[in-house]
Amino acid sequence: METVVMTAQERAEFEAFKALKEKREAAEKRKQDREAYATIVDETLAAVMPELQEISGQIAAKKKAVMDAFKGAIEMKSELFGVKDEQRTHTFTNSDSTIRVTVGHYTLDGYRDTVEEGIAMVKGFIESQAKDDGSRALVKAILRLLSRDNQGNLKPSRVLQLRRMAEDSGDEKFLEGVKIIEESYLPTASSMFIKAAVKSDSGKWEYVPLGMTEA
């Protein structure tokens, strides 16, 4: 074994070199680990994506088959009970009340540009009623009903509240403004949905998990 004699300065320089080398090696190891992780993610995604796409296709096909299966019942329901075509959901329960299926579609709220005239008319009337502190507070509360959601639309439930207030007030301008807003409502059908439930022995409805987050 060979013994190397170093001065204090040489020793310090050697330790600094050794620390720098170890730091670089550690950095290279982390880089290799990141590259290995990225490779694993890429390989896993490539492996599972076809399976997920296949599952998605099967779900879509089954979903359409269920909707088609209930199409005749929905048409007969409309004829027998006068159900309007725009009804968004339909719930069917068997005779002994042990199986229940709900089919329908989600709806996205939307309005024609004429809604702005209705809003302006309603705001003009409401703001004209602010004559004292009490009425101004009420006006602010009513104006909140005209606030918009994240998509910039009014909520139909709030418009309904405005309708009731307009009817209570009896003011023609207020009523006309609300009517314009209501006539501007232009909802669009979004994705279809299916909910299924069976009744347990204890008499409680238990939903059948139909989504990947539920199964």
Among residues 67, 83, 99, which one ends one of the domains? Answer: 83
Domain count, the chain: 3
How far apart are alpha carbons 151 and 109 in whole angstroms?
9
Cβ pair 119, 181 in contact under 8 A: yes
- Domain extent for 72: 1-83
Q: What is the band of 2 on the pLDDT scale with cuts at 50, 70, 90? A: low
User: What is the model's pLDDT at position 131?
Assistant: 75
Domain shared by 53 and 146, yes or no: no
How far apart are alpha carbons 97 and 79 in whole angstroms?
23
Domain shared by 56 and 68, yes or no: yes
Which of 206, 196, 207 has its CA nearest to residue 102?
Answer: 196
What whole-number percentage of the chain has pLDDT above 70? 93
Domain shared by 119 and 171, yes or no: yes
Domain shared by 71 and 177, yes or no: no
Report residue 123 as tokens: 């705001």
User: What is the model's pLDDT at position 85?
Assistant: 57
User: What is the model's pLDDT at position 34?
Assistant: 94
Domain shared by 103 and 122, yes or no: no
pLDDT digit string, tens, across residues 173-190? 889 999 999 999 888 877
Domain shared by 79 and 157, yes or no: no
Q: What is the band of 28 on the pLDDT scale with cuts at 50, 70, 90? A: very high
Domain shared by 174 and 192, yes or no: no
Domain shared by 165 and 207, yes or no: no
User: What is the model's pLDDT at position 14?
Assistant: 79
Give the mean model confidence (pLDDT) for residues 65-87: 80
Q: Which of 65-74, 165-174, 186-195, 197-206 has the highest mean pLDDT?
A: 197-206
3-state SS, residue 100: strand
Residue tagged 């880089």 (tokens): 31
Domain shared by 200 and 135, yes or no: no
3-state SS, residue 205: strand
Task: Lowest mean pLDDT of 94-108, 141-155, 165-179, name the range.
Answer: 141-155
Domain shared by 131 and 156, yes or no: yes
pLDDT digit string, tens, across residues 51-67? 999 999 998 899 889 98
Q: How many residues does the chain have?
A: 215
Confirm whether pTM is higher than 0.85.
no
Cβ pair 190, 107 in contact under 8 A: yes
Domain shared by 5 and 95, yes or no: no
Mean pLDDT of the chain: 86
User: What is the model's pLDDT at position 146?
Assistant: 85
pLDDT digit string, tens, across residues 83-133? 665 667 889 999 999 999 999 888 888 888 888 899 888 888 877 877 777
Domain shared by 146 and 56, yes or no: no
3-state SS, residue 123: helix
How far apart are alpha carbons 141 and 2 in whole angstroms?
90
How far apart are alpha carbons 157 and 143 in whole angstroms?
14
Among residues 32, 65, 83, which one ends one of the domains? Answer: 83
